[in-house]
Amino acid sequence: MSEAQLKRSPFSLRILRSIGFIFFFLKELLISSVRVAVDVIKPTIVFQPGVIAFPLRASSDMEITLLANVISLTPGTLSLDVSEDRKTLYIHAMYAADPEAVREEIREGLEKRLLEAVR
Amino acid sequence: MIELAIDTTMMVLMASLIPALIRVIKGPSLPDRVIALDVAASIVVAIILVHSIRSGSLYYLTAATVVALVAFLGTVALALYIRRGGAS
Amino acid sequence: MREVLICFFLLFGAAMTLVAAIGCLRLPDLYTRMHAATKSGTVGIMGIVIAMMIHVGDASVGFRGILVILFFLLTAPVAAHMIGRAAYRSGVPLCGKTCVDEWRKQELDSEE
pLDDT in tens, B43-75: 999 999 999 988 888 888 889 899 999 999 999
pLDDT, residue A1, reads 44
C-alpha distance from C30 to closest chain A C-alpha (Å): 11
For residue C8, the distance in angstroms to the closest alpha carbon of chain A comes to 15
Q: Residues B23, C11: contact at Cβ < 8 Å?
A: no
**Residue closest to C14 by CA, chosen among C39, C44, C38:** C44
Chains A and B touch (3+ CB pairs under 8 A): no
Taking only the tens of pLDDT, chain A with its 119 residues reads 455 555 667 788 888 888 888 888 889 888 888 888 888 888 887 778 888 888 888 778 888 888 888 888 888 888 888 887 778 888 888 887 788 888 888 888 888 888 877 77
Closest CB to B20: pick one of C6, C24, C68. C24
Please indicate if any CB of chain B lies within 8 Å of the CB of C74. Answer: no
Work out the average pLDDT over C15-43: 89
Report the 10 Å Cβ neighbour count for B57.
11
| Contact yes or no for C84/B38 (Cβ under 8 A) | no
* Domain residue limits, chain A: 3-118
Note whether B63 contacts C: Cβ–Cβ < 8 A: no
**Is B5–C6 a contact, with Cβ atoms under 8 angstroms apart?**
yes
Alpha carbon dihedral B3, B51, B75, A102, in 10-degree steps, equals 20
- Contacts of B33-38 with C-beta under 8 Å, sequence gap 24+, read B34/B75, B34/B78, B34/B79, B34/B82, B34/C83, B35/C24, B35/C30, B35/C33, B35/C34, B35/C37, B35/C80, B35/C83, B36/C24, B36/C33, B36/C37, B37/B71, B37/B74, B37/B75, B38/B71, B38/B75, B38/C37, B38/C41, B38/C79
Mean pLDDT of C35-46: 90
Name the strand (E) or helix (H) holding A69. helix A61-72
In this complex, do C102 and A53 lie within 8 Å of one another by their Cβ atoms?
yes
pLDDT of residue B21: 92
C16 and C47 in contact (C-beta within 8 Å)? yes
Average pLDDT over residues C104-108: 71
Nearest CA in chain A to C104: A51
As a whole number of angstroms, the distance between CA B84 and CA B74 comes to 16
Looking at the complex, report in whole angstroms how far the Cα of residue C41 sits from the nearest Cα belonging to chain B: 7
pLDDT at C53 over 80: yes
B52, B61, B75 member nearest C79 (Cβ): B75
